[in-house]
Amino acid sequence: MAKKKDSKYFFDKRTKEWIKIKNMVEEDLVVCGFIYKQNHMISLVLGKWDDGVLHYEGRVTLGVLIYKKDFQKLTKSVLTDLERIML
């Protein structure tokens, strides 16, 4: 999705300020962390490995409301699954 910086979101209503765009470029990125915002939105902090060095690539805000305790449960579950796969 792309939007004008100062546009507002209206639930269940389409406006010309929000448009769908297709991403034709794929890139492998690493989720390095997250920023929990006051409005219960989450931004993922992304990085990319380049010659053994992790570089900041930006952040992506998830378009869903999620409460901190639920996100912490989800994060713990994902990490547990990763540990199981890696061992």
Residue 71 is encoded by which pair of tokens? 């996100």
Q: For 5-50, write each residue's pLDDT tens digit.
A: 777 777 777 777 777 777 777 888 888 888 877 777 778 889 999 9
Cβ within 8 Å of residue 62, ≥6 positions away: 41, 42, 43, 44
Q: How far apart are CA 37 and CA 32, in angstroms?
A: 16
Select the more confidently predicted residue: 54 or 84: 54
Cβ pair 40, 62 in contact under 8 A = no
Residue-range domain boundaries for the chain: 2-86
Q: How far apart are CA 19 and CA 7, in angstroms?
A: 12
DSSP state of 62: -
The pTM score is 0.52
Q: How many residues does the chain have?
A: 87
